[in-house]
Chains A and B, each alone.
Chain A
Amino acid sequence: MPRRLAIAGLSAVVAAGFGAVAGLVHGTPFWSTAGIFALVALGPAVAATWYLTVGRRVPEVRNPPAEQRDSIERRWWQHAASAAFVDTTALAGSALVLVALTDFRGADPVLVLVLVLTVAWVDVLARLAVLRRAEG
């Protein structure tokens, strides 16, 4: 229980830090901006804090049991993720060439990053679905 409290406390501090930075950068209204950012950051902060303090020392996390390694689902995931990485890299590279050629500077960086993430995850999920259907 003390460990959980410590993780929760540390996570709250990290999330509050994110919120404070966001509030300072975005200006007014500070508290609502900081609060929303802190709330959104809380989940990832808990996960990251757990992993850094406890998770990476858990034997099952550090070295998954053979049963988990010997799984067709894990193989599908590895194939889908690596293929999606190549797709995303190729797409980003092509887009970069276009931007360099046209000197286009109008895109919002946040929108671009969201688009890249979305493309990558949709690619992974589509490839997983295709593999599952092909072999299922």
Chain B
Amino acid sequence: MRNDIPRRRGERGLTQAALADALGVSRQTVISLERGRFDPSLPLAFRIAALFGCSVEEVFTPDDDGEDIAT
């Protein structure tokens, strides 16, 4: 799953550590999230979306753009 967390975090001037604090996770978790190596649980995805003031699907997009679901 892809995400644009780094861009949104950068726009808000947040460091990875500050974002981790705001989300209640470790900094390593934020690093792995941004690299796309860690797919968050739904509650965490909603917390991230709420923090950035947008919907979950605006932050996260499936790697295959949902082709599997559509077909």
Contacts and interface: CB of A to CB of B under 8 A. Distances in A.
B50 interface: no
B24 interface: yes
- Interface class of chain A by DSSP: helix
A70 interface: yes
A69 interface: yes
B28 A72 contact: yes
B44 interface: yes
A71 B24 CA distance: 10
Contacts of A65: 24
Interface string B22-49: 0111101101110101101101100100
B25 A70 contact: yes
Contacts of B25: 67, 70-71
Interface in A60-104: 65-67, 69-73, 75
A136 B28 contact: yes
A75 B43 CA distance: 16
The 10 lowest CB-CB distance pairs between A and B, nearest first, are A67-B24, A70-B44, A72-B32, A72-B29, A66-B43, A72-B38, A70-B41, A72-B28, A71-B29, A70-B25
Interface of B: 23-26, 28-29, 31-33, 35, 37-38, 40-41, 43-44, 47
25 contacts: A65-B24, A66-B44, A66-B47, A67-B23, A67-B24, A67-B25, A69-B41, A70-B25, A70-B29, A70-B41, A70-B44, A71-B26, A71-B29, A72-B26, A72-B28, A72-B29, A72-B33, A72-B38, A73-B29, A75-B38, A135-B28, A135-B35, A135-B37, A136-B28, A136-B31
